[in-house]
Structure 1
Amino acid sequence: MKILLVNSLYPPEIMGGAEVSVSLLAEALALRGHQVSVICLHKAAETSISEIRGVRVYRLQIDNDYWPFDQDRKPSRLRRLKWHLRDTWNREAAKRFGAVLDAEAPDVLHTNNLTGFSVSLWSEAKRRKLRVVHTLRDYSLICKRSTLFRNGQTCARRCPACATMTAPSLIASRMVDAVVSNSQFVLDQHQKLGYFANIPGKVIFNIADVSEAAPVSPPATGDLVFGFIGRIEAEKGIEVVLKAAELLPDAGWRLKIAGKGLEQYVGGLKAGQKNDRIEWLGFTKAANFYASIDVCLVSSVWPEPLPRTLIESINAGRATICSTAGGIPEISGFSNMVGSYEPNNFRQLAELMVKAVNDTTRWKMAQPLQSDFADKFSPDSVTRQYMEVYSAGNSKAP
């Protein structure tokens, strides 16, 4: 089968888990004999075509006012508004995309994050009578910030501006033949607003090849080592973690923070705390990080769809303490050593961390995986489920 995937970014350009998940899926499909190509965006003004692990990758220029990814400083509010308005239905991006569609002539179009492209791409596919499958990996179709998170809080309801600017996405969602989500939570958030009405929906977890992996050995005896890994930003709950750390005892623990964020923001966080038990690692390879900690903190305060760090930490045999935001509870239950708390409740998080410190031996123990854990995230399982969706036919559910 000829499969064309679309995502805003593609490795080596990585901003989050979506790029990793899409690349793993593309490579797994190619490895199983399918002809796979990917369309993504890049900063350059010309189209580039390359081959990465059996996948043909088209990198197109962005047809908008500025490059929105991986910025050290936010553009002005007016400039951001202009950008988002164009991103509601980007005709130039659709035209550029259509040329690649004609060149590739795929059997199925599989779209993922569309920020920078807009949902106008779906209309190009339907004009060519292609089957369209869309995977929800964030909230960009219902929230222009893509997070359902504003001013430090999860949005209880959509603001009028988001409802207005995402109206084209709501209408365009009728063009999709099947919708997939990496968590039930995210799928529910879209469907309750009328998106993808009467269109078959399915939850398929992301690939995390854990089939041959074994839990890594825990760190040497001593202090209980907590760990946070991910982008350093408020949405990920780093401020909650630091507030909780202020309430911990003076001994018996350490905290390692791995990841990068806006320089000014991270600098402010470091300046605001002087505890020498907290170590800022910067960018760190995931395997090395998990091998150096005992308990992974998954502290998102925004309704994160499905954090890859949680899957990785469970696979590494690490105990976890997780917020209940978004799709996190759908995965945290697979951990054999887990504590859960309400998002933003740093006092509740601190209580769980203190309990862990007081029972260090048990929380340091590498946890065996549940027998069916690897299967749920294996390339074989995930590609099989996607092939079923790709091949289901073009008729929509009644």
Structure 2
Amino acid sequence: MRPIITILASGTLGDVRPLAALGRGLHEAGYAVRVATHARFAFLVRSQGLAFHCIEGNPSDLLLHDDAALTLDSGMVRGAVATLRYLRAARAVYARMLDTATAACSGSAAIIVSLASCWGQLIACALGVPCIWAPLQPITPTIRFPSPLLPVTPSLGARARRLSYMAIELATWLPWRTVLRRWRARAPGSRQTPLDPFALARHSRALFVYGFSPHIVPPPDDWPPHHVVTGYWFLDDPAERLAPEIEQFLAAGEPPVAIGFGSMGGRRPREDTLLALEALRLAQRRGILFGSADVTRLAAGRRDVLVVPHAPHRLLFPRVDAAIHHGGAGTTAASLRAGIPTITVPVGIDQPFWGMRVAATGAGPPPLLRRYATPDRLVRVIAAATDDLVRVRAAAIGRLIDREDGVAHATEVITRAM
């Protein structure tokens, strides 16, 4: 029988889609792959020929109802209060998620987790199987740069930069310690193991395969050798096509600017849409906006703007003049791969980090934090991003990323470890 690898994937589409790509690569390499994730991603998983197991409860869904939780976008005090409110509301959801994920992992030869499913390390220990980490952002401590998940990025010395990772680790699991303790009381295995998944990973020397490009984040020289940067994990579907209305809009004038703020960045759709519409008007640019029916109503009468619910980034981004987005790991990867100027308007989590990495490579200007974004400022950023030198650098980065095969590299590394 083929060994079963279970991938625990929690969070948003941007968290789950790269893991589905990795799962497909492992499946093609001969493993029996099951992806345990939330019900709304069942079609995505099954379309890749992978077994789907449902994880009930998704704490990320609660963020859609609060635009301040886990960010400083609305100020430090309001953000802290909203985050505490989110943590209280998410405890019952978290407990249900742990129980159903444990059942889904039964019979696995190995379990793969990401940062959003780091609690899977505890499940692997309870079941006595190896845990492989597959994060989409650098979380291994280093002195080279502070944790990408810091809410602010002050100037820090080498020691403080390394300690910043420990602080983020505590913030990631400590709020759930009561839920984790109760889960462990009814889970198989020892009742004495630590509840800290990061400490367990270090103790077991768990393999880390990172799903981003070494051209965007070169692996620091103080990382352990079993922490490997493999390249981005893209999920390309040969059957995907751009919708006819998008093709018509693209053919009707100059290349537009693509604008979308993702699931986390779009918690205030009206404000984000008005920002984008006014910036496009002032810049005299055409635009394609990702949004719902409410966004369509706000853009009614604008012949220079097309609103679409979604579109494959792989096909759309190479045909636009620039991409403006929240700076999520997956969307940033897609716009960099397309070789176009990238403009990030981050809200929180790791988004400012990716915006700074874009600027460091020269593929776009420094990030414009959402709380400081105005139409006038966004117009200036668009002008800076479409400079000829930025275009040349963005195109060069796109060629480098396009030549990578992150899924194949990660599959090779995991196969050697298995």
| Structure 1 and Structure 2 fold alike (TM over 0.5) | yes
The answer on 1:25 being equivalent to 2:22 is yes
1:255 maps to which of 274, 287, 306: 287
Q: Do the aligned residues in 2 keep the contact of 1:8 with 1:114 (CA within 8 Å)?
A: yes
The answer for the alignment partner of 2:36 in structure 1 is 39
| Distance in 2 (alpha carbons) for counterparts of 1:164 and 1:70 | 19
1:208 to 1:3, Cα distance in 2 relative to 1, 3 A: same
CA RMSD between the two structures: 5.4
For 2:199, give the aligned amino acid: R
**Post-superposition shift, 1:356?**
6.2
For 1:231, give the aligned amino acid: G
The answer for the alignment partner of 2:61 in structure 1 is 69
Structure holding more strand per residue: 1
| Distance in 2 (alpha carbons) for counterparts of 1:7 and 1:187 | 26
1:309 maps to which of 324, 331, 353: 331
**Secondary structure, counterpart of 2:16 in structure 1:** helix
| Distance in 1 (alpha carbons) for counterparts of 2:272 and 2:360 | 22
Deviation track 1:255-293 (CA, whole Å, cap 9, x = no partner) reads 221145xx8xx66x9759997644432333435533652
**Secondary structure, counterpart of 1:342 in structure 2:** coil
1:228 to 1:172, Cα distance in 2 relative to 1, 3 A: same
**Secondary structure, counterpart of 1:310 in structure 2:** helix
Q: Do the aligned residues in 1 keep the contact of 2:9 with 2:35 (CA within 8 Å)?
A: no
Identity, in percent, stands at 13
The answer on 1:84 being equivalent to 2:90 is yes
The answer on 1:289 being equivalent to 2:316 is yes
For 1:19, give the aligned amino acid: V
Deviation track 1:237-267 (CA, whole Å, cap 9, x = no partner) reads 986786476466756412221145xx8xx66
Q: Do the aligned residues in 1 keep the contact of 2:217 with 2:357 (CA within 8 Å)?
A: no
The answer for the alignment partner of 1:327 in structure 2 is 354
**Post-superposition shift, 1:78?**
8.8
1:110 maps to which of 109, 112, 115: 112
| Distance in 2 (alpha carbons) for counterparts of 1:36 and 1:175 | 24
| Distance in 1 (alpha carbons) for counterparts of 2:97 and 2:279 | 50
Q: Do the aligned residues in 2 keep the contact of 1:375 with 1:381 (CA within 8 Å)?
A: no
**Post-superposition shift, 1:20?**
0.9
**Secondary structure, counterpart of 2:365 in structure 1:** strand
Structure holding more helix per residue: 2
TM-score by length of 2: 0.59
**Post-superposition shift, 1:22?**
0.9
| Distance in 2 (alpha carbons) for counterparts of 1:79 and 1:71 | 10
**Secondary structure, counterpart of 2:233 in structure 1:** coil
**Post-superposition shift, 1:209?**
6.2
2:407 maps to which of 365, 379, 392: 379
1:172 maps to which of 182, 197, 204: 197
Query: Structure 1 stretch 323-332 or stretch 312-321: which is displaced more?
Result: 323-332
**Secondary structure, counterpart of 2:23 in structure 1:** helix
The answer on 1:227 being equivalent to 2:249 is no
**Secondary structure, counterpart of 2:134 in structure 1:** strand
The answer for the alignment partner of 1:144 in structure 2 is none
The answer for the alignment partner of 2:382 in structure 1 is 353
Structure 1 unaligned segments of length 5 or more: list them: 141-146, 189-196, 392-398
Structure 2 unaligned segments of length 5 or more: list them: 70-81, 140-147, 155-163, 181-193, 346-350
